[in-house]
């Protein structure tokens, strides 16, 4: 078994260049599997680079390349062991391709902040008594106070 690295999506994307650097410089690709794994990381890294200098055609191309190479790793893993969970494909891959081929920068539709707020709310909720959980959540997430905008000030 291999160690599992658990990261949030916003954290994991910063690991891609590190993994690519390590794979290129410290783990030379000596087998077809290792070459495929390295080749899979390269278009993923390129996708993240394109978020800052967006090019719709390049984003679609590199995203598809990443998903096809990842799919090949999945197929190889399953051919060796039908129960393998290594390189498993998830529905998010399908969504990723649609997002990258939309012609819009995927950064414009990220929802990291929403995911963090849900996690933070669950953490606050766990610390509350059931009878006053709703009050604790509201107090912790009160962002602004109500100010009527349609009333003229005198």
Helices 91-100, 56-80: axis angle to 10 degrees equals: 160
Per-residue confidence band for 1, with pLDDT thresholds at 50, 70 and 90: low
Mean pLDDT of 91-114: 84
pTM exceeds cut of 0.85: no
**Whether residue 115 has pLDDT greater than 80:** no
- Identify the CA nearest to 107 among candidates 56, 42, 64: 56
8-state DSSP, 31: S
Q: Give the number of C-alpha atoms closer than 13 A to the C-alpha of residue 117, restricted to the C-beta side.
A: 10
């Amino acid at each position: 078994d291999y160690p599992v690295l658990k990261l949030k999506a916003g954290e994991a994307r910063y690991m891609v260049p590190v993994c690519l650097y390590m794979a290129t410089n410290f783990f030379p690709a000596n087998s077809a599997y290792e070459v495929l794994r390295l080749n899979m990381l390269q278009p993923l890294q390129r996708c993240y680079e394109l978020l800052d200098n967006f090019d719709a055609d390049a984003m679609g191309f590199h995203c598809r390349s990443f998903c096809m190479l990842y799919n090949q790793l999945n197929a190889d893993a399953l051919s060796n062991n039908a129960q393998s969970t290594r390189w498993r494909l998830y529905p998010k891959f399908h969504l990723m391709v649609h997002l990258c081929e939309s012609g819009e920068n995927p950064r414009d539709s990220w929802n990291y902040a929403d995911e963090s707020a849900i996690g933070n709310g669950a953490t606050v909720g766990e610390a509350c008594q059931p009878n006053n959980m709703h009050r604790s959540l509201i107090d912790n997430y009160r962002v602004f106070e109500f100010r009527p905008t349609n009333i003229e000030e005198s």
